[in-house]
Amino acid sequence: MQPIRIDDPSDPRIAGYMNIRERDLAGRQGRFIAEGKVVLNVLFGARRFEPESVLLLENRFAGMADTLSLAPADLPVYVASSEVLDAIAGFHMHRGVLAIGRKRPADTVEALLDALPPRALLAVLVGISNHDNMGAIFRNAAAFGADAVLLDETCCDPLYRKAIRVSVGAALKVPFAIGAGAGMLLESLAARGFEQIALSPSGASEITDLARADRLALYLGTEGEGLPGTLLNRLKTVRIAMAEGFDSLNVAAASAIALHHFSDKVCPAG
Amino acid sequence: MQPIRIDDPSDPRIAGYMNIRERDLAGRQGRFIAEGKVVLNVLFGARRFEPESVLLLENRFAGMADTLSLAPADLPVYVASSEVLDAIAGFHMHRGVLAIGRKRPADTVEALLDALPPRALLAVLVGISNHDNMGAIFRNAAAFGADAVLLDETCCDPLYRKAIRVSVGAALKVPFAIGAGAGMLLESLAARGFEQIALSPSGASEITDLARADRLALYLGTEGEGLPGTLLNRLKTVRIAMAEGFDSLNVAAASAIALHHFSDKVCPAG
């Protein structure tokens, strides 16, 4: 693989990397920025995404040989000096390992659910708007073997640069689909025999008292407001016991505890 | 409480708030910046800290009446317009609720340990250098009733502005002490009858198989390198089971699972 040297920050071949900090917030027609060696390894092995190009700090090229050997042989790999790379990205890139990925056509919620095995663990995210939390939840989903993540349309994008980075690539690994609203997700899951449980500080039972259904969907809501009451009324609710006088747990921390508890390792098939 | 209006960003009365983003990284002679209403509530109730002053966006003053009623009556409360506040802080403060706190003389590790009850749960942090992780671990420690946190000297400062914010004030609530090194902490804990357990991906037993000793210290290490081998050799090691092919858990997520498991709610006294 021969690197292609970029000396002009306005070179059209690297236009997709221009000012990535601001552009992350806008739509990018199915494209996303992947960052760091570990994430690129996941991208090159992902079924649902394909790499479009790579942009490296020139002194990182040699150390990336193993990672790049996983990529298609005709993938363009651009290299640039630190000054040029910073001018392209719009801020100081101390790691200097970037790629642009492209989504293949996304699965619908129904198609994703229909492809699941008889025993499956899902996270269902409602209104998760913070990219750190989104990335951390995907990382926990991968760590504890969740089969997929469903999102309502008020969630932020798991393919935002920071969410992918915080997920350590898990956002490219764990299948996900976006439904119109939580009510529609609930109907689709009910039709396929999922037990549906919502995590809530006021949940009716303790999570550690619960056995795992073969098909289980775990709802997680926003930290401030939690899941809407209309949704909680239609779901079985569970809580994570906390110390007196403190009922505040970050949603990513809650997802770690709950997905760990319901993982096959802790709650194996009966 | 009469607010004191500040119109000049270089007013010496608010010098402690100047350019807080940069100054956070430097020493501040036992002072720290607390941010947000929830954190100020904790600060005003904390035994080990005292507030020195408050600086508010002028339109936040009325809504802060309940919080300010918890503060000493002679505490100076400064208010400023959005433009002046941004010029003071050095960046845009969209929340506009700040205070400077001062530490009272810190406990030594020995004094903190000697004040603990016969049954106690501790987190022991070694080399935690990321302020988000530090704040999240303190938040989990508070949520699951840990009695204290011990840190080795290579950890970052729990009273850094961002760590306090991410902890939602728990860094001001959960007692902590900083020891010279992990070896010294281990000796001090052993002398006081603590069972000492290290979380490690290669741990000898599953955490869910472990009962809780009355006095338990749980070691957490850096995410990249983990705890040093010399330390792991002297401790009982436990792992958190993960899915095949994925052995990467964020240290804050690991702390949530482990502290929840060992909390009095999940592992009550026998």
Counting residues of chain B whose pLDDT is more than 90, the rounded percentage is 79
What does the block give as tokens for B35?
Answer: 């941010």
Angle at A170 between CA B156 and CA A101, to 5 degrees: 110
Count of CA atoms in the C-beta half-sphere (13 A) of A239: 13
How far apart are the C-alpha atoms of B138 and B140, rounded to whole Å? 5
| B-chain residue closest to A247, CA distance | B143
How far apart are the C-alpha atoms of A65 and A261, rounded to whole Å? 39
Identify the pLDDT of residue B26: 46
Chain A residues near residue B249 by CB distance under 8 angstroms: 139-140, 143, 256
What does the block give as tokens for A2?
Answer: 């021969």
Q: What is the DSSP letter of B156?
A: P
* B11 touching A (Cβ < 8 Å): no
How far apart are the C-alpha atoms of A158 and A180, rounded to whole Å? 16
- For chain B, the farthest-separated pair of C-alpha atoms sits apart, in whole angstroms, at 61
Domain ranges of chain A: 4-103, 109-262
Local confidence band at B24 (pLDDT 50, 70, 90 cut-offs): low
Q: Following CA atoms B56, B62, B64, B66 in sequence, which dihedral angle do they give, to the nearest 10 degrees?
A: 150
* B171 touching A (Cβ < 8 Å): no
Residue A19 predicted with pLDDT over 60 = yes
More confident residue, B6 or B18: B6
Q: Supply the ipTM of this predicted assembly.
A: 0.90
How far apart are the C-alpha atoms of B167 and B178, rounded to whole Å? 18
pLDDT tens for A84-130 read 999 998 888 878 999 999 988 878 999 999 999 999 999 999 999 99
Question: Under 8 Å CB-to-CB from A5, ≥6 apart: which residues?
Answer: A58, A78, A79, A80
CATH number of this structure's domain A4-103, picked from the four choices 3.30.1360.120, 3.30.470.10, 3.40.50.150, 3.30.1330.30: 3.30.1330.30
Identify the pLDDT of residue B203: 92
For the domain spanning B109-262, the CATH number is: 3.40.1280.10
Cβ contact (<8 Å) for A253 and B252?
A: yes
- Shortest Cα distance from A255 to chain B (angstroms)? 9
Asked if B4-103 and B109-262 have one fold, the answer is no
Counting residues of chain A whose pLDDT is more than 70, the rounded percentage is 97
Minimal Cβ distance to B257: which of A241, A243, A260:
A260
Cβ contact (<8 Å) for A136 and B260?
A: no
* A139 touching B (Cβ < 8 Å): yes
Identify the pLDDT of residue B270: 74
Identify the pLDDT of residue B268: 87
How far apart are the C-alpha atoms of A137 and A257, rounded to whole Å? 11
* B249 touching A (Cβ < 8 Å): yes
Question: Under 8 Å CB-to-CB from A229, ≥6 apart: which residues?
Answer: none
